[in-house]
Structure 1
Amino acid sequence: MAAILKVPENTASELLLVYKYTKAEGVVNLENATEASLEVSGEKFDGITTICKYLASKTQPQLLGEGKENQAEVEAWSNWAITAFKGVTSKELNAALQKLNEQLTSRTFVVGNQISLADLIVFAHVHHTSKNLRVKSTPNVLRWFDLIQNTVVIKNDLVKNFAPLEINLDDVPEPEAPKKEKKGDKKGDKKEEKKDGEKKEGGKKDKKDKKDKKEKKEKKPAAPAEPEQPVFTRLDIRVGYIRKCEKHPDADALYVEEIDCGDGEGQYRTIVSGLVKWYPVEEMQNRWVIVMANLKPASMRGIKSAGMVLCATAPDGSKVELLSPVDTSKVKPGDRIYVEGLEGEPEKVLPPKKKYFEAVQPDFNTKGDKIAYFQDKPFLIKTASGEPVKCEVATVQGGGIK
């Protein structure tokens, strides 16, 4: 007996978003009703988070999070969104947006390093109040909102249900260091204010003329638009070779690898990876990998990581496997990955604000042949001989890559 999801019309938008994003049509039938509920084999489930968790578990279990701690955090933020944005005062709404903004200060997603159920549920609620988002007060929410609406809503053709918000990320200000106030500034300001107060009609006219001149001076002709470079080509994905790997001294789940990424003779990168659960340290020695090489270096438990090894995760989360060249005899460290039909030079370092990697990573996948793909185009390694080499994993089929 198929499961039946009952969704109230024009409400429960988080349920609708999760249902459509997970493409749960194959396992759950959708019906209109006055109250939200889920019926499975005669058993009835209530509660938005409970229903969303069921939909994800049957379609994309990775949305639930990795590990008990991560899963608990995903559930906590999902429950928070349901109460923080419904039927609240303007003051309470602003407080909720500020809390979310703080959570996203140094994060791409609400929880963890990939999209989760929390992102979908929180987004559905923030979307209803998007008119309250401001560059100055919630810049981190705006960046996150733009990422989710592009990778979830626009990409999956859900714009009828969630109209996109126009966001210019160039308007989002970079953090500024506090300016020290010089002695005498306040005094000088008071003198100027007094002076201006003493001016009569002639002074006001002079002020207006200066303002008009300043506005005319600031107007510049618009620069010609630059051709848009495919986002994938901005990534610097390379062949790497692990020379040495050992456990992180302060984190049981992390390895610290020394990887030759072709940066120069004797120059090796330190990269930290959470692969202890999936590979014994012996299997991490002297092996070929595929590396995201132009992410901004980040400290992981006190050790700066200058890249990320790419892995495929099984749809049910049961396996995580390293990508590697199909034929290692034809490649060398530093050989770059490309896909046919896309051209452009990679960024030296990906600007975190632009979210280039996050925008295309959901399209990284393996198919039945265990080959790595971007959408439907295989990853190809540009070799010295000119013969392209594909990338593969050991067994994962239909998995996501990150």
Structure 2
Amino acid sequence: MAAVLRLPESAAKDVLLVYKYTKSQGVAKLETATDISLEVSGEKVDGITTICKFLASKTKPELLGDGKENQAEVEEWSNWATTTFKSAASKEVHAALQKLNGHLTTRTFLVSNQLSLADLIVFAHVHHVSKNLRVTTTPNVLRWFDLIQNVVIVKNNLVNDFAPLEVNLDDVPEPAAPKADKKKGDKKGDKKEAEKKEEGGKKDKKDKKEKKEKKEKKPAEPAAPEQPVFTRLDIRVGYIRSCKKHEAADALYVEEIDMGDGEGVYRTVVSGLVKWYPLEEMQNRWVIVMANLKPASMRGIKSEGMVLCATAPDGSKVELLSPVDTSKVKPGDRIYIEGLEGEPEKVLPPKKKYFEAVQPDFNTKEDTLAYYQDKPFLIKTASGEPVQCKVATVQGGGIK
């Protein structure tokens, strides 16, 4: 017998979002009531976070976090949101958004590098106070908010419950240069100097305007056609030539990978795979690599790519992707999705969040092959015969 979830008609947006995003209709029957409650086999489940965890565990357990440390952080942020935004007093809201903005300075999602229950719950509360978001004070929250509303709300047709907020990331200002201190002195002299600058500025503007009017107006160039986001990614076949432990981080490997950039040209990639693979298994092996992420420093070593792995739904395994048939591929062969056309970006612009927008749809199925939504990853080979990508054993896992 399915559980029964009871929610007030115009409240508990956090639980409602988790319920609808996880598609828990088959898990719990939704009813309208004056108070929030979840009844499972006659037993009552208390607490918003606990209710959300129950719903997610049944259909999208990956939202709970990968490993105990991340799971604890997901719960911490979820509890923080449900208590902090409860009163919605302006001072508390401002302080909460500032905390969130600081946390998201170097992060795409709240916990780890993937969408979690914390993102859903916090988003529901921030959406309620979204009028307080400003590019000048909370630019990192705005970037995160725009990502979540696109990959969760818009993509899953939940706009009737959570109206999208128009966010122009190009409006996020650069840090302002510090202003020089003005010395106390001759105010009259300062005033005259300011008047001269103002007069000169007016003259310059007038001259520029006259020159501009003399030039012929060029017709506006047509806007570039939009392409599928997946095609902006440069995902390639790579071959690990050598691998060693990172000297400054016990959990990291440093790999030298041939990605087809040219004869004798190899990239350095840093990966957190020490827990999952012994060093000898990281040598001389085929992998699938995200090749156009912006290079990032990891404990003093610049990483020029990211090897893609599948994580088991319960977090018990992490396995590298590789070509199904390595005899037919070479380093640099690109991954494509049938029916999607477009050229990859040279380097993905961090503000656009292209990878983050499609990564939640990377998955493995019962055949352990890699998919984007329901279409398989295909390698474009020299012979023209497509080759699929796989992992060793992980079924129903997310790929990142």
TM-score scaled by length of structure 1 = 0.89
Equivalent pair of 1:60/1:316 in contact (CA under 8 Å):
no
**Which residue in the other structure is 1:339 paired with?**
337
Between the aligned partners of 1:188 and 1:289, the Cα distance in structure 2 is: 71
- Please state how far the C-alpha of 1:389 moved relative to its aligned partner: 1.3
**Which residue in the other structure is 2:32 paired with?**
32
**Partner letter of residue 315 of structure 2?**
G
**Which residue in the other structure is 1:200 paired with?**
none
- Please state how far the C-alpha of 1:195 moved relative to its aligned partner: 5.7
Q: 1:88 to 1:390 in 2, by over 3 A?
A: same
- Please state how far the C-alpha of 1:75 moved relative to its aligned partner: 1.3
Equivalent pair of 1:379/1:391 in contact (CA under 8 Å):
yes
**Partner letter of residue 33 of structure 2?**
A
- Please state how far the C-alpha of 1:306 moved relative to its aligned partner: 1.2
**Which residue in the other structure is 1:400 paired with?**
398
Equivalent pair of 1:5/1:38 in contact (CA under 8 Å):
yes
Q: 1:34 to 1:244 in 2, by over 3 A?
A: same
- Please state how far the C-alpha of 1:3 moved relative to its aligned partner: 2.1
Q: What percent of counterpart residues are identical?
A: 79
**Partner letter of residue 62 of structure 1?**
E
**Which residue in the other structure is 1:158 paired with?**
158
Helix, strand or coil: the match of 1:294? Answer: coil
- Please state how far the C-alpha of 1:117 moved relative to its aligned partner: 1.0
- Please state how far the C-alpha of 1:26 moved relative to its aligned partner: 2.1
Deviations 1:137-184 (A, max 9, x none): 111111111100010011111111111111122222244554657989
Is 1:132 the equivalent of 2:135?
no
Q: Any unmatched runs of 5+ in structure 1?
A: 197-202
Equivalent pair of 1:236/1:346 in contact (CA under 8 Å):
yes
Is 1:122 the equivalent of 2:122?
yes
Between the aligned partners of 1:336 and 1:238, the Cα distance in structure 2 is: 4
**Which residue in the other structure is 1:258 paired with?**
256
Q: 1:386 to 1:183 in 2, by over 3 A?
A: farther
Between the aligned partners of 1:31 and 1:365, the Cα distance in structure 2 is: 33
Of stretches 293-302 and 100-109 in structure 1, the one that deviates more from structure 2 is 293-302
**Partner letter of residue 320 of structure 2?**
L
**Partner letter of residue 299 of structure 1?**
S
- Please state how far the C-alpha of 1:91 moved relative to its aligned partner: 2.2
Is 1:271 the equivalent of 2:283?
no
**Which residue in the other structure is 2:386 paired with?**
388
**Partner letter of residue 262 of structure 1?**
G
Equivalent pair of 2:246/2:252 in contact (CA under 8 Å):
yes
Equivalent pair of 2:66/2:314 in contact (CA under 8 Å):
no
Equivalent pair of 1:325/1:389 in contact (CA under 8 Å):
yes
Alignment of 1:3-402 (within 5 A): 3-178=3-178, 190-191=190-191, 224-402=222-400
Helix, strand or coil: the match of 1:30? Answer: strand
Helix, strand or coil: the match of 1:283? Answer: helix
Q: Any unmatched runs of 5+ in structure 2?
A: none
Deviations 1:191-220 (A, max 9, x none): 059869xxxxxx9xx99x98xx89x99x99
Between the aligned partners of 1:370 and 1:185, the Cα distance in structure 2 is: 76
Between the aligned partners of 1:195 and 1:62, the Cα distance in structure 2 is: 64
Between the aligned partners of 2:58 and 2:26, the Cα distance in structure 1 is: 10
Q: 1:246 to 1:192 in 2, by over 3 A?
A: same
Helix, strand or coil: the match of 1:296? Answer: coil
Equivalent pair of 1:61/1:317 in contact (CA under 8 Å):
no
Of stretches 65-74 and 129-138 in structure 1, the one that deviates more from structure 2 is 65-74
- Please state how far the C-alpha of 1:190 moved relative to its aligned partner: 4.5
Equivalent pair of 1:238/1:333 in contact (CA under 8 Å):
yes
Q: 1:168 to 1:194 in 2, by over 3 A?
A: closer
- Please state how far the C-alpha of 1:188 moved relative to its aligned partner: 8.7
TM-score scaled by length of structure 2 = 0.89
Equivalent pair of 1:9/1:32 in contact (CA under 8 Å):
yes
- Please state how far the C-alpha of 1:61 moved relative to its aligned partner: 1.9
Helix, strand or coil: the match of 2:339? Answer: coil
Helix, strand or coil: the match of 1:391? Answer: strand
**Which residue in the other structure is 1:199 paired with?**
none
Deviations 1:13-35 (A, max 9, x none): 00010111111222222222221
Between the aligned partners of 2:35 and 2:98, the Cα distance in structure 1 is: 30
- Please state how far the C-alpha of 1:370 moved relative to its aligned partner: 2.2
- Please state how far the C-alpha of 1:355 moved relative to its aligned partner: 0.2
Between the aligned partners of 1:335 and 1:183, the Cα distance in structure 2 is: 63
Between the aligned partners of 1:60 and 1:157, the Cα distance in structure 2 is: 18
In the alignment of these two chains, the number of paired residues is: 390
- Please state how far the C-alpha of 1:333 moved relative to its aligned partner: 0.8
Helix, strand or coil: the match of 2:54? Answer: helix
Task: List structure 1 segments (4+ residues) > 3 angstroms apart after TM superposition.
Answer: 174-190, 192-196, 219-224
Between the aligned partners of 2:278 and 2:90, the Cα distance in structure 1 is: 53
Between the aligned partners of 1:353 and 1:272, the Cα distance in structure 2 is: 22
Between the aligned partners of 1:247 and 1:366, the Cα distance in structure 2 is: 28
Between the aligned partners of 1:264 and 1:378, the Cα distance in structure 2 is: 28
- Please state how far the C-alpha of 1:58 moved relative to its aligned partner: 2.1
**Partner letter of residue 339 of structure 1?**
I
**Partner letter of residue 119 of structure 2?**
D
Q: 1:349 to 1:8 in 2, by over 3 A?
A: same
Helix, strand or coil: the match of 1:253? Answer: coil
